[in-house]
């Protein structure tokens, strides 16, 4: 799918969340913002997971394959974040101090 389709779906769903929550207080605004950010992550995650793959979901088995691909990509992305964080913690952040 093109990015325009994802953007259109995101805008529609974000607007729907905003309307459904009712935005009466700051706490409701935070919940709506969190839902919109999670939705944005999910939509762009789908775009990244299926880029370069010709996926057509015509049956339950195709849907199962798509779910496996998405969660495999998500697991790989989270593993990469863990590795980068571990390497950043191991770095010498004091530099070349001579004292």
Residues 37 and 62 in one domain: no
Residue 1 has pLDDT above 60, yes or no: no
Task: Say what the pLDDT of residue 75 is.
Answer: 92
Residues 19 and 62 in one domain: no
* Position with higher pLDDT, 1 vs 62: 62
Residues 42 and 65 in one domain: no
- By residue count, the chain amounts to 99
Question: pLDDT by residue (tens digit) across 16-50?
Answer: 777 776 666 667 777 778 888 888 888 788 778 87
Average pLDDT, integer, range 60-82: 88
What is the domain count for the chain?
A: 2
Torsion of CA 17, 18, 23, 28, to 10 degrees: 40
Percent of the chain beyond pLDDT 90?
A: 13
Q: pTM score, two decimals? A: 0.59
Following DSSP, what letter does each residue of 23-61 receive, concatenated? Answer: --SHHHHHHHHHHHHHHHHHHHHHHHHTTT------SHH
Task: Say what the pLDDT of residue 63 is.
Answer: 82
* Residue 85, C-beta contacts closer than 8 angstroms, at least 6 positions apart: none
């Amino acid at each position: 799918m093109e990015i325009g389709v994802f953007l259109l779906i995101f805008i529609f769903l974000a607007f729907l969340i905003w309307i459904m929550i009712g935005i009466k207080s700051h706490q409701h605004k935070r919940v709506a913002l969190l839902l919109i950010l999670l939705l944005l992550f999910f939509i762009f995650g789908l775009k990244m997971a299926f880029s370069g793959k010709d996926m057509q979901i015509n049956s339950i088995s195709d849907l199962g394959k798509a779910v496996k691909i998405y969660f495999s990509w998500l697991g790989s992305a989270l593993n990469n974040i863990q590795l980068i964080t571990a390497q950043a913690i191991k770095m010498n952040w004091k530099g070349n101090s001579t004292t």
